[in-house]
């Protein structure tokens, strides 16, 4: 049983750990393919608006709940208000964590698979059709995707077992800077490919003719997904924050850094997509179909490919850890289950349902043509999380902070008990959380479904 709760050692450790939860595969894998499916630059503009007026206030709201209670998501919400109805935030957060892990660990498994493909020199001289065939080979299965999914979960489980400081903090402080540098290298090479300009225009020149409410909801869901809000990750990580951490500054810095990494990833992917004659709307395989082609055109591409996918695998693992930690903290603190036993139990649950996603992610897979409500298991898990559970929890937590948590608690957390002189910013933040963010999310959410 967990008797002692660890904390991150410094503000820098807080920033890198929180950023690693937000970045993960959200930037390198999901951001490019969702942007590709929703028309490019116009979608990005809507996404940035969602980050500014919805994502950041929701992120800071979760920080307030997490650090003020220093508990898991279920215990934190129960502590911060006596209104029992808000316990549903904890339930939805746990459900969202599980469903996200069901499909997220499948993609993490693909990345681990590509580490070994890079080690084998498979990217050398590869063609566009060869890259597509390679991804199909990795994602169709039936055995391979499941094995790699389990590998990804075991690696995450080992790091979680090491603890907050020795595991999560130590690895993220090394990983994140190196990953960003290598992503910049990819972007530089991508934009210098012949025919890359069309991809740059796709990313930077908006065309609003294709924008509808469904696109807006996708942007909203992506904003929540990429900032790791709604699942409980930020409640959990903020419960390990230091007492002197500036919550508003951390929230803004994480959102800005996450957005910059997303745009760099876009510059690494889309110029190559158009340069090699691929389609930007090809879905979850976009990253895997383009990055090997980029490295095949670079001096030292084999080595860089190995490093890139190794770092991406670790980024995926760190994001996986942030979600799994939500479950582990709840199991150990609420149900008093020993930490290692809780890790094993949750890995078994995730694999049991994740197999459905692994076998349905590719249309050629065993369950690739099996549909529920018109979606494969892989897409169903993703859509329920991004378009339903995360927005609902975003609405609930901002209502909770805006109307049912004492002003003193909010002020004390955002000013660190008066040591930070930011009263004007606190007032603006409180107004946004109370009147703007929940109303906007609710309008988009209801209008889309009605």
User: What phi, psi does 324 have (nearest 5°)?
Assistant: -65, -35
The fold of 11-449 is Hydantoin permease (1.10.4160)
Q: What is the pLDDT of residue 319?
A: 81
For residues 179 and 310, give the distance between their C-alpha atoms in angstroms, rounded to a whole number.
Answer: 9
Q: How confident is the model at residue 21 (pLDDT cuts 50, 70, 90)?
A: low
Q: What is the pLDDT of residue 285?
A: 84
Mean pLDDT across the chain, nearest whole number? 86
Across 288-316, average pLDDT? 83
Which is more confidently placed, 268 or 177? 268
- What is the per-residue pLDDT across 377-388, written as a single tens digit (0 to 9) for each? 999 999 999 888
Query: Is the Cβ–Cβ distance between 34 and 218 less than 8 Å?
Result: yes
Across 329-357, average pLDDT? 93
- What is the per-residue pLDDT across 92-139, written as a single tens digit (0 to 9) for each? 999 999 999 999 999 999 999 999 999 998 888 888 899 989 999 999
Q: What is the pLDDT of residue 167?
A: 55
Q: Is the pLDDT of residue 209 over 60?
A: yes
CA angle at residue 90 from 84 to 93, to 5 degrees? 150
Percent of the chain with pLDDT over 70: 91
Q: Is the pLDDT of residue 223 over 50?
A: yes
Tokens representing residue 260 in the block: 């910059």
Q: What is the pLDDT of residue 283?
A: 76
- What is the per-residue pLDDT across 156-196, written as a single tens digit (0 to 9) for each? 888 777 765 555 666 666 677 777 888 888 888 888 888 88
Q: Is the pLDDT of residue 78 over 90?
A: no
Q: What is the pLDDT of residue 279?
A: 82
Across 211-239, average pLDDT? 84
Q: What is the pLDDT of residue 219?
A: 87
Q: How confident is the model at residue 431 (pLDDT cuts 50, 70, 90)?
A: very high
Least confident segment among 203-212, 326-335, 366-375: 203-212
Q: What is the pLDDT of residue 172?
A: 66
Least confident segment among 49-53, 133-137, 209-213, 256-260: 209-213
Q: How confident is the model at residue 2 (pLDDT cuts 50, 70, 90)?
A: very low
| Tally of CA atoms within 13 A in the half-sphere of 378 that contains its CB | 24
Which is more confidently placed, 299 or 88? 88
Q: Is the pLDDT of residue 54 over 70?
A: yes
Q: How confident is the model at residue 246 (pLDDT cuts 50, 70, 90)?
A: very high
Q: What is the pLDDT of residue 1?
A: 38
**Cis preceding-peptide flag for 103 (omega within 30 of 0):** no
Q: Is the pLDDT of residue 361 over 80?
A: yes
What residue segments make up the domains of the chain, in order of their start?
A: 11-449
Q: Is the pLDDT of residue 3 over 50?
A: no
């Amino acid at each position: 049983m967990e008797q002692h709760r660890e904390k991150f050692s410094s503000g820098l450790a807080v920033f890198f750990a929180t950023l690693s939860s937000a970045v993960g595969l959200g930037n390198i894998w999901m951001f490019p393919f969702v942007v590709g499916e929703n028309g490019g630059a116009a979608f990005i503009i809507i996404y940035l608006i969602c980050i500014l007026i919805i994502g950041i206030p929701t992120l800071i709201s979760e920080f307030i709940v997490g650090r003020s209670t220093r508990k898991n998501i279920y215990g934190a919400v129960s502590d911060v208000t006596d209104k029992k109805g808000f316990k549903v935030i904890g339930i939805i957060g746990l459900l969202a964590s599980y469903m996200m892990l069901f499909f997220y660990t499948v993609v993490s498994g693909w990345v681990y698979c590509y580490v070994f493909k890079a080690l084998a020199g498979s990217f050398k001289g590869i063609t566009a059709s060869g890259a597509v065939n390679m991804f199909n080979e990795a994602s169709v299965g039936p055995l391979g995707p499941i094995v790699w999914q389990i590998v990804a979960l075991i690696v995450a489980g080992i790091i979680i077992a090491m603890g907050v400081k020795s595991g999560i903090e130590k690895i993220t402080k090394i990983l994140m800077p190196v990953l960003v540098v290598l992503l910049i290298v990819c972007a530089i090479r991508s934009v210098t490919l012949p025919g890359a300009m069309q991809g740059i225009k796709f990313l930077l020149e908006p065309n609003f003719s294709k924008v509808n409410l469904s696109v807006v909801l996708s942007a909203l869901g992506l904003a929540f997904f990429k900032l790791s809000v709604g699942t409980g990750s930020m409640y959990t990580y903020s419960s390990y924050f230091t007492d002197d951490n500036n919550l508003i500054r951390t929230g803004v810095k994480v959102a800005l850094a996450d957005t910059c990494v997303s745009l760099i990833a876009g510059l690494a992917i889309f110029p190559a997509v158009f340069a090699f004659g691929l389609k930007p709307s090809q879905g979850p395989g976009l990253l895997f179909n383009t990055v090997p082609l980029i490295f095949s055109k670079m001096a030292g591409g084999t080595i860089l490919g190995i490093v890139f996918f190794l770092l991406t695998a670790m980024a995926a693992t760190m994001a996986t850890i942030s979600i799994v930690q939500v479950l582990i903290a709840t199991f150990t603190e609420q149900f008093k289950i020993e930490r290692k036993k809780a890790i094993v139990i949750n890995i078994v649950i995730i694999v049991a349902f994740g197999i459905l996603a692994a076998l349905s992610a590719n249309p050629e897979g065993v369950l690739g043509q099996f549909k529920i409500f018109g979606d494969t298991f892989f897409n169903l898990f993703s859509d329920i999380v991004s378009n339903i559970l995360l927005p609902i929890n975003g609405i609930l937590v901002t209502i909770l902070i805006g109307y049912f948590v004492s002003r003193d608690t909010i002020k004390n957390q955002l000013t660190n008990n008066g040591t930070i002189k930011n009263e004007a910013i606190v007032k603006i933040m409180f107004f946004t959380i109370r009147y703007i963010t929940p109303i906007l999310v609710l309008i988009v959410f209801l209008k889309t479904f009605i």
